[in-house]
């Protein structure tokens, strides 16, 4: 690992090896550089893992991929293709999978590091793990090289908190971190109380002054890049009864995009009381549904109709079982896409990711289960 500090001084990244590289090396059950060896699984064992409570389209099957997790909030992939998970309480796990789609063994890789209300994790191209927890963005490091993180290096602190906070994060092709920062109040009486509130923000992985990338997004929770580089985000409008002019949307995020919440959510002003569409809203989402994590499905094992489609985890309202609690899709390349229901039967799904085999993984915050949705035609 290269030294990166001035005058030949080793950088923090050099002193603290990335967690992804550690987990894929001597702490793996397989020899360094090789994937874990799959243990044969019998047909009866496979049937026992089928999640009959999850309803999916014909040709798909849902499996209970990992269990015993406490309020999972985020999923991401490491450089080696491994699946990593964050819990709301601040712990981070590697979901060690031998490659059979059906099951994984959670291995705790970070705990008791003060990452309160952890809502996002992501790896950069160097294998460094970044975390978005209440009020800040951090790098999670393993200084004693034992395979478990023992230090948090602050990248950005003092972010606005209140009714909402900084949410999930992703790493762009430019190496920068991108994340949504919600409003500190639910309605805000038509006022933005802080220039960083209701935005998509971006910061370099080494820290420094962040930039406000886009504005006017009340609470952008899920963020994801498509294969072509376009950035998308889910945006949650106000809760009832204050739902006026505050839609729930999937938006294409552009630099200096002005999405005009709270005055013209999803539109731009034409004068006092007048708004027209900006063209940046990809599609409307069901109101009061708490749309969370998002992934854009690259062509893989799912049928062609799901290629370049956004899969969105919709947590739902704890007090109303009739909304959300599902995974929905939006075809981002269509001219006028319509939200479609893909999978139901969850308690409170909050995070999604597509693994290297083209399997859709869904983390259910309510049940503490990660489900794997497999297209059986791919076998």
Band of residue 3 on the pLDDT scale cut at 50, 70, 90: very low
| pLDDT higher than 60, residue 13 | no
Domain boundaries, the chain: 14-378
The pLDDT, as a whole number, for residue 14 is 30
- 247 vs 172: CA distance, rounded Å: 27
Return the beta strands (E) in 165-308 as ranges.
166-171, 177-181, 199-203, 211-215, 220-225, 231-235, 249-253, 257-258, 267-271, 274-277, 281-284, 291-297
The pLDDT, as a whole number, for residue 195 is 78
Residue 231 backbone phi and psi in degrees, to 5: -100, 135
HSE-CB of 92 using CA atoms within 13 angstroms: 36
- 286 vs 45: CA distance, rounded Å: 37
The pLDDT, as a whole number, for residue 188 is 66
The pLDDT, as a whole number, for residue 282 is 84
pTM of the predicted structure, to 2 decimals:
0.85
Reduced DSSP (H G I as helix, E B as strand, rest coil) percent helix, strand, coil of the chain, to 5: 5, 40, 55
Band of residue 261 on the pLDDT scale cut at 50, 70, 90: confident
More confident residue, 232 or 280: 232
Cβ atoms of 308 and 329 closer than 8 Å: no
- 370 vs 59: CA distance, rounded Å: 20
Q: Please, what is the average pLDDT of the chain? A: 82
Residue 13 backbone phi and psi in degrees, to 5: -65, -35
Cβ atoms of 63 and 371 closer than 8 Å: yes
More confident residue, 41 or 298: 298
Summarize the confidence of residues 364-369 as an average pLDDT.
97
The pLDDT, as a whole number, for residue 321 is 77
The pLDDT, as a whole number, for residue 2 is 27
Band of residue 33 on the pLDDT scale cut at 50, 70, 90: very low
Residue 7 backbone phi and psi in degrees, to 5: 65, 25
- 124 vs 169: CA distance, rounded Å: 11
Summarize the confidence of residues 273-281 as an average pLDDT.
62
Taking only the tens place, the pLDDT of each residue in 184-226 is 776 666 556 677 888 999 999 999 999 999 988 889 999 999 9
- 136 vs 157: CA distance, rounded Å: 4
The pLDDT, as a whole number, for residue 82 is 92
Q: What is the CA radius of gyration of the chain?
A: 20
The pLDDT, as a whole number, for residue 196 is 85
Taking only the tens place, the pLDDT of each residue in 73-100 is 999 999 999 999 999 999 999 998 765 6
End-to-end Cα distance, the chain = 39
- 196 vs 178: CA distance, rounded Å: 13
Q: Which residues lie closer than 8 Å to 300 by C-beta, 6 or more apart?
A: 307, 354, 357, 358
Q: Which CATH class is domain 14-378?
A: mainly beta
- β-pair partners for 225: 231
Strands 257-258 and 211-215: parallel
């Amino acid at each position: 690992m290269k030294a990166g500090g001035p005058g030949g001084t080793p950088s923090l990244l050099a002193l603290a090896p990335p967690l992804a590289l550690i987990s894929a090396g001597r702490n793996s059950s397989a020899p360094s550089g090789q994937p874990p060896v799959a243990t044969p699984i019998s047909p009866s064992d496979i049937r026992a893992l089928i999640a009959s409570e999850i309803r999916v389209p014909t040709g798909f099957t849902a499996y209970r991929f990992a269990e015993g997790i406490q309020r999972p909030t985020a999923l991401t992939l490491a450089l080696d293709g491994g699946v990593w998970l964050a819990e709301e309480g601040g712990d981070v796990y590697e979901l060690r999978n031998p490659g059979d789609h059906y099951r994984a063994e959670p291995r705790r890789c970070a705990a008791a590091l003060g990452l309160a209300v952890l809502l996002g994790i992501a790896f950069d191209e160097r294998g460094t793990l970044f975390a978005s927890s209440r009020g800040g963005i951090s790098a999670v490091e393993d200084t004693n090289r034992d395979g478990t993180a023992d230090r948090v290096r602050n990248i950005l602190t003092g972010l606005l908190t209140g009714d909402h906070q900084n949410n999930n994060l992703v790493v762009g092709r430019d190496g920068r971190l991108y994340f949504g920062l919600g409003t500190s109040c639910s309605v805000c009486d038509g006022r933005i109380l802080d220039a960083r509130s209701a935005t998509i923000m971006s910061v370099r992985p080494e820290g420094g002054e962040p930039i406000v990338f886009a504005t006017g997004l009340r609470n952008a929770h899920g963020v994801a890049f498509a294969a072509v580089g376009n950035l998308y985000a889910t945006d949650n409008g106000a809760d009832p009864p204050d739902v006026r002019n505050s839609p729930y949307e999937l938006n294409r995020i552009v630099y200096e995009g002005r999405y005009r919440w709270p005055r013209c959510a999803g539109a731009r002003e034409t004068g006092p009381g007048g708004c027209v569409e900006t063209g940046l809203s990809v599609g409307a989402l069901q109101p009061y549904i708490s749309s969370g994590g998002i992934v854009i499905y690259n062509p893989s094992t799912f049928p062609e109709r799901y290629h370049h489609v956004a899969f969105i985890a919709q947590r739902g309202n704890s007090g109303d079982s009739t909304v959300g609690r599902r995974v929905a899709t939006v075809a981002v390349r269509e001219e006028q896409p319509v939200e479609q229901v893909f999978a139901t039967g969850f308690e409170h799904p909050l995070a999604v990711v597509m693994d290297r085999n083209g399997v859709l993984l869904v983390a259910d915050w309510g049940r503490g289960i990660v489900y794997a949705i497999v297209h059986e035609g791919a076998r």
